[in-house]
Structure 1
Amino acid sequence: MAIKFFLLVNIRGKTRLSQYYESVPFDERPTMESEIIRKCLSRTENQCSFLEFKDYKVVYRKYASLFFIVAVDASENELAILELIHNYVEILDCCFEDVIMFNLDKAHFVLDEMISNGDVIECSKQQILEFVNLLYKQES
């Protein structure tokens, strides 16, 4: 897969988590993110969860009050990205008893276990949860 970046955004449009897998200058990120977020938040539930933005294909999905936004190459399979987002949400759901915003380091860690350099390296929920639980059990 050619994932370019992964964003986690609240319904007010504030970026809570961002992970970039390609070089995007830091000064350009806020403008680009705000444009993409505005487009995703302005779409209705009846519209599809895919849109084009510059050289990217953007795939997003809303869960509760959070939007999970992934930018990929134009040739990427949108349904595979939706499945990746859903898998990530399921893993986060298993990891957090509280609100995710209080544990962003753990959310980053889970994402890093799933994606490396823009490629999906692990999609097994069981494998990821075993590793996350082992790591965080040792910290306590």
Structure 2
Amino acid sequence: MKKIIFAATMSLLFVTTSYVFANDNGTKKELLADIKEETKKCAVQIISVSSESENVLNFESECSSLKILSSNEAQILIDGQWLTARITESGESDGGDLDDLAILNSEGKVLATKTNIPAYDSVVVAMAGDSDFKKIQKK
């Protein structure tokens, strides 16, 4: 009888734990999708154009919900909560091409991560993914 109770308890624990992890993973995916959408809506590439090339100088925000603090850090307002996005160079990078992204809440708790993003040392690119941004030419 003890073995049956133990087996039933372990099965219930496994099912409950699996649900929590699946739900948590889904929440992280949703959060990253919300961040991507808001970043694409707000971020603008500042570019310089010459006869040979178009160079991205930096990014600016057109919205109060996105604050670009540096090339490595930004704050974004999602569901009424300010979150911080930070990138660090990926261990897989061979010179600044790949970055790791961490999303933190106001207490500094990591809510979501994404690794090996081809962001080229730009937190905005890491947040928005492979996106076409609105461009403004520097005068």
The TM-score with structure 2 as length reference comes to 0.30
The TM-score with structure 1 as length reference comes to 0.30
Question: Could you say which structure has the higher helix fraction?
Answer: 1
Larger radius of gyration: 2
